[in-house]
Amino acid sequence: MSTLPSDDTDPVEVLSVEECWSLLRGEEFARLAYRLVDEVHLVPLNYVVEGDGLLIRTASGNKLLAAALHSDVALEIDWHDDTSAWSVVARGRLRRLEEHEHHRLDGLPQQPWVPTLKYDVVELVPSVVTGRRFRLERHAGSTA
């Protein structure tokens, strides 16, 4: 692929902010890490980019995500094949969208993965977005 690092001596390439957003717009499945007292939690979810935010639809009353509203979170997407990998992390705080803001989901591709009657929508407006691309040196004869 054309996105391999151009410098053969450096296996890690830092992605530009524009590249990170482009990758975020191209995915819908991510993991959200957040802190609850001293514990770190990690949950898979789907999201959609709208404006400068990431919109996440969650089952109403999701206790874990409610807890995430009170601390900094990190949302990560990644991809890999046998020769390269990339990872993008968006950091910031979550806020719950008011009912009158739910129209921001209209026309967007995000649908709930898990069917549930009632949803809340939370938004992550990242304060920092970072990404890296790795050139991989995989083992021959993978046991995967």
Would you give the distance in Å from CA 51 to the centre of its chain?
15
Smallest separation, CB 4 to a second copy (Å)? 13
Cβ count near 67 (within 10 Å): 15
Among 89, 122, 124, 129, binds a second copy (CB under 8 A): 89
The encoded tokens of residue 139 equal: 């083992």
Amino acid found at 82: D
Site mask, a second copy, residues 7-36, x = CB under 8 A?
----xx-------------x-xx-x-xxx-
The window from 15-23, 37-45, 49-57, 93-101 that contacts a second copy (CB under 8 A) reads: 37-45
The torsion angle over the Cα atoms of residues 42, 56, 72 and 76, rounded to 10 degrees, is 50
76 binds a second copy (CB under 8 A): yes
Smallest separation, CB 126 to a second copy (Å)? 13
State the residue for tokens 């296996």.
11
Smallest separation, CB 134 to a second copy (Å)? 5
Smallest separation, CB 125 to a second copy (Å)? 16
44 binds a second copy (CB under 8 A): yes
6 binds a second copy (CB under 8 A): no
Outline where DSSP puts E strands in the chain.
12-14, 29-36, 39-50, 53-59, 72-80, 84-96, 119-135
